[in-house]
A and B are shown apart, each in its own frame.
Chain A
């Protein structure tokens, strides 16, 4: 094998808070022809910066300070713009995390596909379109001959990401940089894209750099894995060896992350019914119903996990419970009493008892309020506590979420993602609620941080006896924290029961698909899955669409 890309002692700095600080500090990396290199790490590890640097590019506000990037015979750090232009898009191409944001919404897919090869003079427009259709066929996109004539919003998220992979291959590049290509997708859709990427790399014999934060995903595609942290290499090695026997503690922590949260202690009030949703049907405006005849029961001190893909109505159900979306039909009982449908009709006391934690802690905290204001307000608002008593309560809340009181005077922008989410949890706890609705609370966080948050939530439940309605698409989280599981598909509950009941066969067909889609650390997992009946189904495309067709 010949060496394709070599990075030596790469140092990249970023401009932040008015000084230059290192984002990547002295990374050595090499990729051989036809080889897939997996870059893995938390956010801020510098993996995307390295991926983009392989094209001799830096994001605005960054600069390459030191080191060399040798691609083929070209030194990318020294090359002129004209030389780089001939390489980028032709010999190295890039697949970004969000295909929806990467495609120009105003042009048809195939036109965008043909742009690079035509512009670089590699193919004529007709040839490029022919090649595009061939790639669409190879990637099992539906209607490969005509799908290119659609606009980006007319195909599903998974199909769009596959079209993006096809576009990256338009000029038959030597190297493709995949930057978290499946992170924004549902688990079942992830399989379809992963399978495409794996096939594309194998068939076309391109080399690739695959960037992700999910070790199980990278295990499926990479030949070698490099673990990064704070811009430095933690560990590097062939995939199988690295997964089988990691040398560093950090890698081991990443490997064990899926194994779960804390242990559960039964609470004294456990078993009393708290929330009872019956026959709820709801729609936004005059649109089609997003919830159809949903029943759900939650008992005190328990955690019910609400599982489903995006668009399944999970978050809409949360809005119905909080009163933001009054249902068209059905009733909700909270602690034995009927819950008014509209937010405005509810008593302050009822509002206090139901709290919510959101997916994105960044937008859930007012950026102009300090932590003590954020936590102090609900305390003052519901209990009328002021002065020293309020300060004492806020300090106590901080202690519960395991943050020191230095954080009191900080603004949200001065906190990390995990810390922000902790503050959100504390804000919910400040009202001494009976029910907390957790809407995808861990999915925007790094895995190790997410694990800590789950542990914290479990500990708080043990101590305070609060109930959780846990909305998630991540089955690993569900396994870690749920007592009961409700599976939703297209606004309907398709399966519900205790965790053991739902997770042990026989499953509902959709649950089976969901369960099978969760990547495992085994490098052969994807290949084995695709050989099975379930895998073949997943390969065909958006699972939910097909299933709903079956049901009708």
Chain B
């Protein structure tokens, strides 16, 4: 399994390999955040918005005294100090980035998995049962999709409060509408084939038709979609956190870190850009892999 994955990766185009690399780095952070992080998630270690290793003194006196700018990376700070500087409360940014990866990614994963579970179950159900079940579920989903997701989420979250379980359920439900659309469409295709008809004629239960006959044949597009949806969920959590309705402080998460440190930009401190770039990289990385997988699943080859 793992070796075949590695073989696939070796044959993949560079974009997909880059994506895998980004994912691997994030998975490492995800798995070993407490071991890797030099400080605790909420530990205050210094002043507000202290610069990180880039904080070389590049004034003219300094240059004439100590040679070129790049050679003066702030070694004193790096030794047991904040590599990426500190945030608006004087906490270590690197540690918070690592913990943030853990929180943001795990919640995004849980939400995506839940939304796929809901969306696929309903989608397969609608495709195999046809008739009024299909109509009922499809129309409900249409109604849900008619609302802009962000507004919908904002309303629900401000009413129901912003605890993590509520956050997970709300985003998963909203996202499952998209999953429902896709899984219903692919399942309808598979449902029309004769091997499903054979299973039907055999008298198989609905659950067998859905999970044993249809699911294995719809996996490639659904896995690719999983990658994309994961990105959207990730961005969505970040957006909600930025608006103050996502994960609540002091929990580290990339979206709220951007928000908390955004003010620093006015002082020429780029702390907010670190989590912002991290979000961008994860999104791009996952998209590259999902893209490659989608192309593979669609049977489009680029060997020629």
The answer on a CB contact under 8 Å between B201 and A381 is no
User: Digit string of B89-116 for contact with A (CB within 8 Å is 1, else 0)?
Assistant: 0000000000000000000000000000
Contact residues in B for A365 (Cβ distance below 8 Å): 195
Instruction: Give Cα distance in the complex from A439 to B194, angstroms.
Output: 12
Instruction: Pick the interface stretch among A265-273, A356-364, A387-395.
Output: A356-364
B201 near A343 with CB under 8 A, answer yes
Interface contact A358-B194, CB-CB below 8 Å: yes
Out of A358, A360, A366, which one reaches B213, CB within 8 Å? A366
B207 at the interface (CB under 8 A from A): no
Is A363 a contact partner of B200 (Cβ separation < 8 A)?
no
Number of interface residues of A (CB under 8 A): 28
A356–B213 touching, CB < 8 Å: no
- In the complex, which residues 456-508 of chain A have their Cβ closer than 8 Å to any Cβ of chain B? none
Q: Point out the residue from B197, B202, B213 that lies within 8 Å of A351, measured CB to CB.
A: B202
Closest-by-CB residue of A relative to B198 is: A364
Question: Given A343-B200, A351-B202, A366-B216, A360 and B304 touching (CB < 8 A)?
Answer: no
Q: Which of B200, B203, B213, B303 contacts A348 (CB 8 A)?
A: B203
Would you give the shortest CB distance from A344 to chain B, in whole angstroms?
9
With a cutoff of 8 Å between Cβ atoms, the chain A residues found around residue B195 in the complex are 363-366
Cross-chain contact A351 with B203 (CB below 8 angstroms)? yes
A369 contact set on B, CB distance < 8 A: 216
Is A324 in the interface zone, CB < 8 Å from B?
A: yes
Is B202's CB under 8 angstroms from A381's CB?
Answer: yes
Best-buried of A343, A367, A368, A382 by chain B (most CB within 10 Å): A368
Contact A356 B204 (CB under 8 A): no
CB distance from A365 to the nearest CB of B (A): 6
Supposing A15-B303, A363-B194, A364-B198 touch, asked if A381 and B204 sit within 8 A by C-beta, the answer is yes
Pick 9 A–B contacts, CB within 8 A, sort by A: A15-B303, A351-B203, A356-B201, A358-B198, A363-B194, A363-B195, A366-B213, A377-B202, A381-B203
Number of B interface residues in the complex (CB < 8 A): 16
CB proximity of B130 to chain A, nearest CB, Å: 12
Residues of A within 8 A of B200 (CB): 324, 343
Q: Is the CB of A60 within 8 A of B217?
A: no
For residue B172, give the distance in angstroms from its CB to the closest CB of chain A.
27
Q: Does A442 contact B (CB under 8 A)?
A: no
Q: Which residues of A lie under 8 Å from residue B198 when comparing CB positions?
A: 356, 358, 364, 427
A61 x B304 contact (CB < 8 A): yes
Q: Does A378 count as interface, using CB distance less than 8 angstroms?
A: yes
B76 within 8 A of A: no
| Inter-subunit contact A60/B304 (CB<8 Å) | yes
State whether the Cβ of A322 lies closer than 8 Å to any Cβ in chain B.
Answer: yes
Q: Which residues of A contact B194 (CB under 8 A)?
A: 358, 360, 363-364
- Encode B75-91 as 1/0 by CB contact (under 8 A) with A: 00000000000000000
| B residues at A contact (CB < 8 Å) | 193-195, 197-198, 200-204, 213, 216-217, 301, 303-304
The 5 closest A-B pairs by CB, nearest first: A368-B216, A364-B194, A366-B195, A351-B203, A358-B194
Would you list which residues of chain A between 211 and 237 have a CB under 8 Å from chain B? none
Q: How distant is the Cα of A290 from the Cα of B287 in the complex, in angstroms?
A: 49
> Are B193 and A363 in contact, with the CB atoms below 8 A?
yes
B interface, by DSSP: helix, strand, loop or mixed?
helix
Q: Which residue of B lies closest to A424 (CB)?
A: B198
Known: A363-B194, A368-B217. A378 touches B303 (CB 8 A): no
Shortest CB-to-CB span from B229 to chain A, Å, is: 23
8 A Cβ contacts from A104-144 to B? none
Residues of chain A at the chain B interface (Cβ within 8 Å) = 15, 60-61, 322-324, 343, 346, 348, 351, 354-356, 358, 360, 363-369, 377-378, 381-382, 427, 431
CB-based nearest B residue for A364: B194
9 extra interface residue pairs, beta carbon distance < 8 Å, beyond A324-B201, A368-B217, A431-B202? A324-B197, A324-B200, A351-B202, A351-B203, A365-B195, A366-B195, A366-B216, A366-B217, A381-B204
A355 contacts across to B, CB distance below 8 A: 201
Interchain CA distance A22-B223 in the complex, whole Å: 35
User: CA separation between A61 and B204, bound complex, in Å?
Assistant: 40
Most buried by B among A324, A363, A431: A363
Provide the bound-state CA to CA distance between A286 and B202, in Å.
Answer: 27
In whole angstroms, what is the CA distance A354 to B203 when docked?
12
Q: Separation in Å of the B13 CB from the closest CB of chain A? A: 16
- A367 closest partner in B (C-beta): B217
Interface centre among B193, B198, B213, B304 (most CB of A within 10 A): B198
Chain B residues contacting A381 (CB-CB under 8 Å) are 202-204
CA of A201 to CA of B301, assembled, Å = 40
A382 and B203 CA atoms in complex are apart in Å by 10
CB distance from A89 to the nearest CB of B (A): 24
- How many angstroms between the C-alpha atoms of A351 and B199 in the bound complex? 11
Task: Compute how far the CA of A511 lies from the CA of B195 in the bound complex, rounded to whole angstroms.
Answer: 34
Q: Which residues of B contact A60 (CB under 8 A)?
A: 304
Closest CB in chain B relative to A523 CB, distance in Å: 39
Q: Which residue of B lies closest to A374 (CB)?
A: B195
Complex-state Cα separation, A358 to B195, whole angstroms = 10
List residues of chain B with CB within 8 A of the CB of A364: 193-195, 198
Contact between chains at B201 and A322 (CB < 8 Å): yes
Q: How far is the CA of A38 from the CA of B29 in the complex (A)?
A: 67
Residue numbers in B under 8 Å from A363 (CB-CB): 193-195
Chain A: minimal CB distance from B78 (Å): 48
Q: Which A-chain residue is minimally distant from B304 (CB atoms)?
A: A60
In the bound complex, what is the Cα–Cα distance between A381 and B304 (angstroms)?
Answer: 46
A207 to chain B, nearest CB (A): 32
Q: Which residue of B lies closest to A322 (CB)?
A: B201
**In this complex, which of A324, A366, A427 has the most chain B Cβ atoms within 10 angstroms of its Cβ?**
A366
Query: Residue on A with the closest CB to B193?
Result: A363
The distance from the CB of A324 to the nearest CB of chain B, in whole angstroms, is: 7
A343 to B304, CA, bound (A): 49
CA of A377 to CA of B201 in the docked complex: distance in angstroms? 13
For A347, the closest partner residue in chain B by CB is B203
B216 — which chain A residues lie within 8 A by C-beta?
366, 368-369
Chain A residues, CB < 8 A from B203: 346, 348, 351, 381
In the complex, how many angstroms separate the beta carbon of B297 from the nearest chain A beta carbon?
Answer: 13
B203 to A: closest C-beta gap in Å = 5
**Could you tell me the distance in whole angstroms from the C-beta of A373 to the nearest C-beta in chain B?**
9
- Whole-angstrom distance from the CB of A99 to the nearest CB of chain B? 24
Which residues on the A side are within 8 Å of B304 (C-beta)?
Answer: 15, 60-61
The answer for the CA separation of A354 and B216 in the assembled complex, in Å, is 27
Whole-angstrom CA separation of A367 from B220 in the bound complex: 13
A355 to B197, CA, bound (A): 11
Q: Are the CB atoms of A378 and B202 closer together than 8 Å? A: yes
Distance to closest chain A CB from B111 (angstroms)? 28
Closest CB of chain A to B201's CB: distance in Å?
6
A368 to B202, CA, bound (A): 18
Bound-state Cα–Cα, A351 to B200, Å: 10
Q: How far is the CA of A418 from the CA of B197 in the complex (A)?
A: 21
> Which of chain B's residues has its CB closest to A373's CB?
B212
Q: Which residues of A contact B204 (CB under 8 A)?
A: 381
Residue of A with least CB distance to B219 = A368
**What is the distance, in angstroms, from A512's C-beta to the closest C-beta of chain B?**
34
